[in-house]
Chains A and B, each alone.
Chain A
Amino acid sequence: MNSISPKTSRRGFLKASAATGGGLLLTINFTGIANAATGPAQINAYVRVMPDGIVSIMAKNPEVGQGVKTSLPMIIAEELDVDWSQVRVEQASLDTEKYGLQIAGGSTSIPRNWDLLRTAGATGRQMLVTAAAKTWNVPEVECTTASGKVLHQKSGRSLGYGDLAAKAATLPVPDPKTVALKDPKDFKLIGKFTRDVDGPAIVTGRPLFGIDVTRPGMLHAVYEKCPVFGGKAVKANLDEVKAQPGVTHAFIVEGVAPADKSTVTTQLYPGVAIVADTWWHAQRARQKLRVEWDEGEVATQSSTGFAARAQELFKAKPEKEVRKDGDVDAAFKSAAKTIEASYSYPFIAHASMEPMNCTAHYHDGTCDLWVPSQTPAQARSIVAKSLGIPEANVAVNLTRGGGGFGRRLNPDFAAEAAWISKVTGTPVKVLWTREDDMRHDYYRPGGFHHLKAGLDKDGKLIALSDHMVTYGQGDKYAASANLAANIFPAEFVPNLLFGATIMQLGVPTGALRAPGSNALAFTFQSFLDEVAHASGKDPLQFHLDLLSEKRVPPAPPAPPLTGAAAAFATPPFSHERMRETLKLVAEKAGWGKRTLAKGTGLGIAYYFSHAGYVAHVAEVTVKGDDIKVDKVWVAADVGSQIVNPSGALNQVQGATLDGVSQIYGAEITVAHGRIEQGNFDDYPLLRINQAPPVEVHFLQSANSPTGLGEPALPPTLPAIANAIFAASGRRVRDLPLRKASMASA
């Protein structure tokens, strides 16, 4: 039986920590739940200690391959002072009252939780020390801990955490501000190569993912949406579909659109549901489905139309002025040299290996979800809105996600499963096909840029302008389609003008790994390479000069952000950190020190995103139309501490190869309002035979640790594009390479 001590109730703790103003500390829910001596004792929301000393640590954030199910518990275990072999990691369900934000996005898991989880672990350790000191009747200061034990060296006594847990759990929670954290030099676990906690289940094929969920009485569903975004089903041959083997239900869903489409993109799309005893039966019956769609107005949109319109719009001034420093027109007139170029990049899909899916069980006005989502709270919200039930009536169980890359930030599939379950009255698993997944994504938006730069007689960059033709609805940018005012080299060029013009778009867009940066890094870092060559300087030297000082007065401080905006705010750019990272990668790649064969070249690029400083050098060989990336060197500064070197290295190599994949072949095109690609034949992903070695170096600077899921992607594409130029004299200004039949086979 659990009993809750009134002194340490959640309510009490929340009040206390709210008074200290530590927003993040609100999420530490030291419930002080004591258990019978034989059961596990819950020390706090994250930590349960079994009588045998096994420590169960909750992994609160969604795991989609970024490694937080291992790295976040490592932080707690370190400060709790237990051996990793004693630790069992459990995936937490959605409980934002207990855990605060539970999200996999923005490379924020480590920076947002570093202090919080260290404090959670250290507080647990402190309570166990107090319990031991009381047991022995000795001062706490005489007690130390190691490997899940409290030690009293004077008397030679020791007690395992398992023996102390029940007592510790009855103690008042110490003020987190008074709890001592370890000196990082004493870390035993953080900084050590630590294997994924789900590794044994992964290599033996045990159920882990959303697609693997099964519930008693569960039915399987497919959901056909209009191929044109915004279209609706008018009628369908439902009777014929229902007559197919195994089919239990077939019906049209009207859909539930968000009240404000400009800010909320996730919704229950209209469509036709087919439900059967097995997924194959549902999918087999779908081959008989004939739907009459009302395609709506988006059916007039196409990629070729957008490209032509962008060229027209470049002739006019930008609709929006995004940033203006100095006087670019005057500077261009006085410049010794000007450089102009247009760049473009396509829409791309997320294409995570596990197609979107969700299992839902609607019953008695409540809905249980099992969902591979990066934003379980968003899944709860969209399901509640779609079904018209309170959020409190939606329970969200988190499964491992087979890749996220930002796609699972928009859990539209959860609303589908919930709606269908409400109709059938049974648990239902909705599973998309690959084609559903590719044709109903929230795409990385494409974009078009016209850039101009001016150099003075010494080859110094004195002026730069960019007109971005992008996408949106009305005068609002589509998700991830904006040009931010602080995009580098803003602040480092005295005369600068950023402008944007919006084309109306009905195709949903969203965040894809390093949103914004993944496209803008290619554009700006490629163009700056053109400028560097025009300046007559070596590109590395040009960039080190450019990064040497800010050349416009700093902007007045913005009002402090609140809520989600604060959670995802990027700290200010440090050109010193960027320079050091750039120097490191150049040194490791032998920049300027090696003689390369004809047709082989090196390209350099760097970018600051998600608080991480990353620089790449790519070595590329070009033979005719064949381009081969031979090797990539990466340097990254993500602060003082790499929590898990295994995960960190894997992320940087993976993000870099993701960039190689994108530059080779990733392109989604729109025709008549629908997506033309559907599977890996027309949307190729990088394969092992195309994957170059990626050599990674971390520069551990004296800064708080930040995340790594994203920042290693953006510089990859321009580093390769710049290397292609160095190797062949051909400048890549339109992605992907495949378009120009330039990709390696």
Chain B
Amino acid sequence: MPHTLTVNGQARTIDVEDDTPLLWVLRDVLDLKGTKFGCGIALCGACTVHLDGQPVRSCSTPVSGVAGRKITTIEAIGETQVGKKVQDAWLAVDVAQCGYCQAGQIMSATALLSAIPKPTDADIDAHMSGNLCRCATYTRIRTAIKQAAGLETAKTEG
């Protein structure tokens, strides 16, 4: 059945079954490939998007529950001030190895810094532990978050 979603500021009407996960609407219907599939059961965070500014796992969010709410994906997070800072820090620190999980990491980090502009290590642990990185770039993820928060000066040593 038809669903009208607000994705990255645009109203989009799509015709899919109610139980279709938001992830597959984004990827295969709206052709927004930045949001990634990792586990399908909200355990890895690769599919993280923002729903009214809050991070959610789109692989386990049925499309029927998101009509009328604001969905932001990695493709548009750079249009927010915090999102842009996070992306810039990710680049400066050169966080990625394979890069597959990083869209989800950036979405979670942006949500963290929006809620807690100057996070402690414990805040980072609490907000980022839902996002797996199989390459284990965790050292640099932590550095990049601190750099985006202005807690560390530009640092490229890891």
Contacts and interface: CB of A to CB of B under 8 A. Distances in A.
B57 interface: no
A203 B87 contact: yes
A204 B129 contact: no
A520 interface: no
A654 B103 CA distance: 18
Contact of A434 (B16, B38, B98): B38
Contact of B134 (A203, A405, A653, A656): A405
Contacts of B46: 353
B129 A688 contact: yes
Interface in A196-253: 196, 198-200, 202-209, 211-212, 214, 220, 245
A653 B136 contact: yes
A214 B28 CA distance: 9
Contacts of A193: 94, 156-157
B40 A205 contact: no
Nearest to B78: A204
A563 B38 CA distance: 37
B136 A657 contact: yes
Contacts of A202: 90, 96, 99, 102-103
A355 B38 contact: yes
A661 B21 CA distance: 30
Contact of A280 (B21, B31, B96, B135): B21
Nearest to A195: B94
Contacts of B137: 650, 653-654
17 contacts: A202-B99, A203-B74, A205-B103, A207-B33, A280-B28, A353-B101, A354-B98, A402-B36, A433-B40, A434-B38, A434-B41, A649-B158, A650-B97, A654-B135, A654-B137, A689-B128, A694-B139
B147 interface: no
Contact of B99 (A196, A284, A351, A660): A196
B115 interface: no
Contacts of A207: 33-34
B80 to A, nearest CB: 13
B113 to A, nearest CB: 15
A685 B132 contact: yes
A278 B99 CA distance: 25
Q: Which 5 A-B pairs have the closest CB atoms?
A: A205-B34, A65-B98, A402-B100, A205-B74, A657-B136
Given A204-B74, A204-B75, A354-B98, 16 more contacts: A195-B94, A200-B91, A204-B34, A204-B78, A211-B37, A220-B28, A284-B19, A401-B98, A403-B135, A654-B136, A658-B135, A687-B138, A688-B138, A688-B142, A689-B128, A691-B136
Interface in B94-142: 94, 96-103, 106, 124-126, 128-142
Contacts of B125: 688-689
Nearest to A212: B33
A680 B97 contact: no
A681 interface: yes
Nearest to B128: A688
Interface in A162-217: 193, 195-196, 198-200, 202-209, 211-212, 214
B33 to A, nearest CB: 4
Number of chain A interface residues as a range:
35 or more
A657 B136 CA distance: 6
A36 B46 CA distance: 46
A433 B59 CA distance: 12
B32 A205 contact: yes
Residue with the greatest number of chain A CB neighbours at <10 A, chosen from B46, B106, B136 = B136
A352 B103 CA distance: 16
A650 B98 CA distance: 11
Interface residues of B, number: 62
A566 to B, nearest CB: 29
A280 B20 contact: yes
Given A204-B87, A353-B132, A646 B94 contact: yes
Interface in B1-59: 16-17, 19-21, 24, 27-29, 31-41, 43-44, 46
A279 B106 CA distance: 25
Interface of B: 16-17, 19-21, 24, 27-29, 31-41, 43-44, 46, 73-75, 78, 87, 90-92, 94, 96-103, 106, 124-126, 128-142, 156-158
B97 A661 contact: no
A686 interface: yes
A431 interface: yes
A105 to B, nearest CB: 15
A681 B94 contact: no
A701 B32 CA distance: 47
Given A204-B78, A278-B29, A646-B156, A355 B37 contact: yes
Contacts of A661: 136
Given A245-B17, A402-B98, A214 B31 contact: yes
Interface in A639-696: 646, 649-651, 653-654, 656-658, 660-661, 679-681, 685-689, 691, 693-694, 696
B44 A353 contact: yes
Contacts of A685: 132, 134
Contacts of A686: 136, 138
A495 interface: no
A65 B17 contact: no
A612 interface: no
A361 interface: no
A661 B73 CA distance: 29
A203 B90 contact: yes
A403 B138 CA distance: 15
Contacts of B44: 353, 434, 680
A214 B32 CA distance: 11
B133 A203 contact: no
Contacts of A658: 135-136
A31 interface: no
Given A650-B158, A657-B136, A661-B136, A195 B129 contact: no
A525 to B, nearest CB: 21
